[in-house]
Amino acid sequence: MSVHDTIGDFITVIRNAGLAGKSSCSYPHSNLRAGLAKVLKDRGFVTDCREAANEKGFKSIEIQLKYVSGKHAIKGINRISTPGRRSYCGYRDIPSVLGGLGISIISTPQGIIDNRTARKEKLGGELLCSVW
């Protein structure tokens, strides 16, 4: 069975690991997924993310999940742009998540960034997901 939406699967792995109370989760490495994990770390939704090698020697991304008062720091994470329906926006049209309490993660020509950085640098792109 082939996987068509690897970003959606990556987001689901993070969501499910948090709901199950796991301390960490891992997923096969790609530059796009590493960029997503870095934004989550920079904005304080996860404790740490790093590259690791699995038992077969392939690169993977190891994410240390963050818990606040025993509850997962990521209350919700949703995929916006899917392989069947891509969603693009300019920097003026980037939606706010929960009135600014959450973030949107955007793929731009400058890399994977959050909504605040995209507005500040005046960059638009593909809306990958929203996190709160």
In this predicted model, what pLDDT tens digit does every residue of 8-19 receive, in sequence order? 999 999 999 999
Q: Which domain holds residue 125?
A: 6-131
Give the confidence band of 28 by pLDDT, cuts at 50, 70, 90: very high
Q: Which residues pair with 130 in a beta bridge?
A: 78, 104
CA separation for the pair 122, 49 (Å, rounded)? 27
In-domain check, residue 51: yes
CA atoms within 13 A on the CB side of 29: 14
CA separation for the pair 67, 65 (Å, rounded)? 7
Mean pLDDT of the chain: 94
In-domain check, residue 99: yes
Provide the percentage of residues in the chain whose pLDDT is more than 90. 92
Q: For residue 97, give the CATH number of its domain.
A: 3.30.1490.10
In-domain check, residue 65: yes
CA separation for the pair 49, 37 (Å, rounded)? 6
In-domain check, residue 1: no
- Beta-carbon contacts of residue 106 (< 8 Å; ≥ 6 apart): 89, 94, 112, 113, 114, 115, 118, 123, 124, 125, 126, 127, 128
Q: Reply yes or no on whether the pLDDT at 1 is more than 80.
A: no
pLDDT tens digits for 119-130? 999 999 999 999
Please state the domain count of the chain: 1
In-domain check, residue 125: yes
pLDDT tens digits for 65-88? 999 999 999 999 999 999 999 999
